Structure 1
Amino acid sequence: MVSGKVKIKNPTGLHLRPAGLFCKTAMQFGCKIVIRKINKSEDVTANAKSVLSVLGACIKSGDEIEILCEGKDEEEALEEMVRIVEDGLGE
C-alpha cells in the first residue's frame, strides 16, 4: 500500500464536476483507491471510484486529503491521482 497527502486547491472543492473527473481517473486503475479527509474532529473516508462516496465526504477547498492505493498498479495510481488534484481537477 502507498499513500500521499495533497491539499485541494480548486476554489469549489470536490463538487460534482471535479469529483467526476477524480473518480473517472481512479477507475482507470485496477488497485483499490481510498481517500481520507484529514480533519482533527472526524475521520472521513471515501471510495475514490464512487462519485457519491466522494461527494459524501464533503471535501472543500483548502482541505487536506490522503490518497491510499493498494494493488498491482498502486504506484502509478497514486502518482496520477496526486497530479490531477495538484493541477486543480480541471478547474
Structure 2
Amino acid sequence: MVSAEMILPNPNGLHLRPAGRFCTEALKYTSSITIQCGENRVNGKSVLGVLAIGLRYKSHFQIICEGEDEEEALAALKELVEQGLGEPLLDSVKGR
C-alpha cells in the first residue's frame, strides 16, 4: 500500500468534469484506489463516490493505492491532481 497527502488545487472544487478525469485515470490500474478526507473514504474509481466526498478548493485529502501497480497508479494520480485535473488553476496555486 502506498499513499500521498494532497491539497486540491482546483478553485471550483472537485465537480463532475475533474472527478471524471480522476476516475478515468484510476480505472487504468488494477490496484484498488481510495480517496480519504477525514474519516470519509470512497472508491477512487467511482465518479459518484469521488463527488460524494465533497472536496473543495484547498481541501486536504489522501490518495491510497493498493495492488500490483500501486506505485505507477499513485504517481499518475498525484500528477493529475497537481496539474488541476484538466481545469485552470489560479496563478498563486501554481506557485507563481
The whole-number CA distance in structure 2 between the counterparts of 1:85 and 1:65 is 11
What CA deviation, in whole Å up to 9, does each residue of 1:19-73 have, x standing for no partner? 00000000000000001014xxxx1111000000001101111101100000000
Partner of 1:32: 32
Which string of whole-angstrom CA distances, capped at 9 and with x for unpartnered residues, describes residues 59-89 of structure 1?
Answer: 1111011000000000000001110000001
Percent identity between matched residues is 47
Q: Secondary structure at the match of 2:17?
A: helix
Aligned length: 87
Highest CA radius of gyration, 1 or 2?
2
Q: Which runs of 4+ in 1 moved over 4 A?
A: none
Q: Structure 2 length normalisation: TM-score?
A: 0.88
Structure 1 unaligned residues grouped into runs of 5+: none
Match of 2:2 in 1: 2
Cα RMSD (Å) of the superposition? 0.7
1:16 Cα shift? 0.2
